[in-house]
Structure 1
């Protein structure tokens, strides 16, 4: 199942039509077809978080689903109409930072995204600006793994055309911005399906999992985190061993070390 989250109905319309989705009953505007679901959250972090959690529940609460946030964003210099993929997501208010794992699919350039609470018109940093990505990502990360949670942003405005949060853009123009990239979005969705299938055996039982669990005492929630981190490292071509952490006494410290290891691997992958 591929779960799309958009903030605006105009962002959603091309996806709904392309995947022939039909309206479903729900607390949020919800659409679906065979293998696809889409929710329109509305603007802002609270709305995005609520809609993402709702979509997960309505999709059957399947573990490790594919979550794609598709929408518009501003940037100070990028060309209007350009499609990019988020490699870093910063919440401007909380300073929380997330690093989606980028595996394969070099057809899309990647860039940083900063999520703000009010429309950004000055674009002070070399980053895309939106109002939902950080909340979408943080929520989806509760249900899936970072390789399968991605943000695709179409540049809608820059310093020369700034309108903020789509407010000065016509609905038709926003839909056109997304529709132009439907072929590449469709290819990316197919790539995500292939990646999910490749990761499935690793998620069921990552090879080092049992040996780590035999070495340290993990709580139930820590075991879930351990599985996720080992899967992430294995997907990035690394194979952590308990022997790598011979001097570590606490399970929580092992998790912290693995998290840093996975992050370093993801950043290295991003360079190529």
Structure 2
């Protein structure tokens, strides 16, 4: 399992055929040490195939964030297929409203990036919608993606892209995996453009890396979540001490957990006033 890299972009698909063209384009390699889900990696992208349905999507996000999250505000993108009453097959949409048909909850992704395509609303249901009697796009994962991703990043960096795969004239039972891969592959340039804009936005949102961060990460072992804690503690230290160098007592620091405990104690003892 490769945790040496900082994965800044997380892509989630429900189906292997949705992931296939993205794996090829971004030159991702499968992490064979991860068993519950198919995970593909390069230097800064982590793509997870979760399986269909809301529960699978939520589990896939939580699992890979626990393993690979290493930045405070990761880019998180759901790419997949959706049905619609009369939209043409192959049309790409950036989702501006997600309706959970089961719970009735609505979500509104923040579209602060320049959309690479048209926008539309989407309805998520636990079972396939085969009647095509709704004005929205339909899928089985987006609401769970958005709700779960919101626990790990900010709304501006959480987006859904959907390609129309079926409609009244060409219903869902006719969908073939090769067709799905071809539909996604046709929009790889738009997907890449959106990811680039989201990455640029993430740099504006994320504070600069604090001093000593790289040094401490090289000196001690930190898990992915511990690196995030370390960065937050060092940022607090810099603000409260006007960037004074912390006087580490290295004799008592053997692991990353020891460093975090020491820093937390030091920060808690600092007197400050507003």
In structure 2, the residue matched to 1:196 is 202
Query: What 5-or-longer segments of structure 1 have no aligned partner?
Result: 205-272
Alpha-carbon distance in 1 for matches of 2:116, 2:37: 32
Q: Which runs of 4+ in 1 moved over 4 A?
A: none
Q: Distance in 2 between matches of 1:37 and 1:201?
A: 22
Question: What are the residue-to-residue correspondences of 1:15-34 with 2, within 5 Å?
Answer: 15-24=22-31, 25-26=33-34, 27-34=36-43
Structure 2 counterparts to residues 181-260 of structure 1, below 5 A: 181-201=187-207
Find the counterpart in structure 1 of residue 141 from structure 2.
132
1:5 to 6, 12, 23: 12
The 8 Å contact of residues 84 and 109 in structure 1, kept in 2 or not, is answered as yes
Work out whether 1:63 is the aligned partner of 2:68: no
In the superposition, the TM-score normalised over structure 2's length comes to: 0.71
1:112 paired to 2:118: no
Give 1:58 shift: 2.1
Residues 76-115 of structure 1: matches in 2 within 5 Å? 76-115=85-124
TM-fit CA distance, 1:198 = 1.6
Partners of 2:48 and 2:113 in 1: CA distance? 26
Secondary structure at the aligned position of 2:206 is classed as helix
| TM-score, length-scaled by structure 1 | 0.71
Aligned mates of 1:137, 1:80 — CA distance in 2: 24
Question: Contact between 1:75 and 1:127, CA under 8 Å: does it hold in 2?
Answer: yes
For these two proteins, the number of residue pairs brought into alignment is 200
The answer as to whether partners of 2:61 and 2:145 remain within 8 angstroms in 1 is yes
The RMSD of aligned alpha carbons is 1.5
